Amino acid sequence: MQILMKVEGLLFDPRSGMYILLLQQVEGSETLPIWIGKPEADAIALAIGKVATPRPLTHDLVKSVFEGLSAKITRVVITEIVDNTYYALIYAFDGKKEVSIDSRPSDAIAVALRAQAPIYVEDEIVGVRRGDELEDWLKNLRPEDFGNIM
């Protein structure tokens, strides 16, 4: 079973020096934090902010390639976690068949935001946490903690 999620925000984790992409269940209270690098966080922040760039960036290019091939990005799914690494698939439909393409979750989400495609997470991994300390930290976040990352 897959759970529909939305991007709740991006946070900087000073302990790891990485960013946390925080996904929130659309109809529920489950959250899923995913640690990502600065370039991936920047790409997601640009998509969230609907910032136009003078030339297409990588995720814009991916979206344009799909459109050029008359394929619609139908959804992205975070499928599993193995050794603290998340895996995702980008699904596309060309009118005849649906294909899935392996992707890092951060890239899949950056593309999904640009294509306005839904983001899903397999329910088996929604409950995965990186420890009680992180869960408490996430619960105590304030709106100002979701600052501009660029």
What are the structural domain ranges in the chain? Answer: 2-141
122 pLDDT higher than 70: yes
For residues 26 and 4, give the distance between their C-alpha atoms in angstroms, rounded to a whole number.
Answer: 6
- pLDDT, tens digit, 9 for 90 and up, residues 59-80: 999 999 999 999 999 999 999 9
CATH number of 2-141: 3.10.690.10
Q: Which pTM was predicted?
A: 0.83
At 110, the pLDDT band (50, 70, 90 cuts) reads: very high
Q: What's the pLDDT at 126?
A: 84
In angstroms and rounded to an integer, the radius of gyration of the C-alpha atoms of the chain is 15
Dump pLDDT digits (tens) for 21-62: 999 999 998 999 999 999 999 999 999 999 989 998 999 999
Return the number of other C-beta atoms located less than 10 Å from residue 53's C-beta.
8
| pLDDT in the model for residue 132 | 42
Question: How many residues are listed for the chain in this entry?
Answer: 150
Instruction: Please report which confidence band the pLDDT of residue 131 belongs to, taking 50, 70 and 90 as the band edges.
Output: very low
**CA neighbours within 13 Å on the CB side: how many for 145?**
16
Tokens of 131: 């420890």
Query: At 15, is the pLDDT very low, low, confident or very high (cuts 50, 70, 90)?
Result: confident
